């Protein structure tokens, strides 16, 4: 098992956790009757969304197959195509 493969798997695990956290915080926001707490939960969910974006970008940096799948679906370049961090 290569370091890149293991790191990619760790990033996928982290992504699953972030996505689950977003769902939970959004559910908490829907369930609370307190506007300030609702705003807090929405704020935290949005922070988790930023984590998802950062972790996905990192995944694209080290997994060329995932980067190609991204390009196939969205066209053009993957978000990291300006630099290949696997060789730094």
How many domains does the chain divide into? 1
Question: Are 53 and 19 spatial neighbours (Cβ–Cβ below 8 Å)?
Answer: no
Instruction: Look at residue 86 and tell me if it is in a domain.
Output: no
Of residues 24, 40, 59, the one with CA closest to residue 68: 59
- Determine, yes or no, domain membership for 40: yes
pTM across the whole model = 0.82
Domain of 61 in residue numbering reads as 3-80
What is the DSSP secondary structure assignment for residue 76, as one 8-state letter? S
pLDDT tens, residue order, the chain (88 aa):
799 999 999 999 999 999 999 999 999 999 999 999 999 999 999 999 999 999 999 999 999 999 999 999 988 777 765 545 444 4
For residue 46, CA distances in Å to 11, 42, 53, 72, 80 come to 19, 6, 11, 27, 22
Residue 1: per-residue pLDDT: 79
In a domain, 87, yes or no: no
């Amino acid at each position: 098992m290569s370091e890149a493969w293991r790191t990619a798997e760790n990033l996928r695990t982290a992504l699953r956790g972030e996505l689950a956290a977003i769902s939970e915080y959004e559910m908490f926001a829907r369930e609370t009757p307190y506007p300030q707490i609702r705003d807090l939960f929405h704020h935290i969910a949005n922070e988790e969304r930023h984590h998802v974006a950062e972790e996905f970008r990192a995944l694209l940096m080290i997994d060329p197959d995932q980067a190609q799948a991204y390009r196939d679906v969205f066209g053009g370049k993957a978000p990291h195509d300006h630099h290949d961090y696997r060789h730094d």
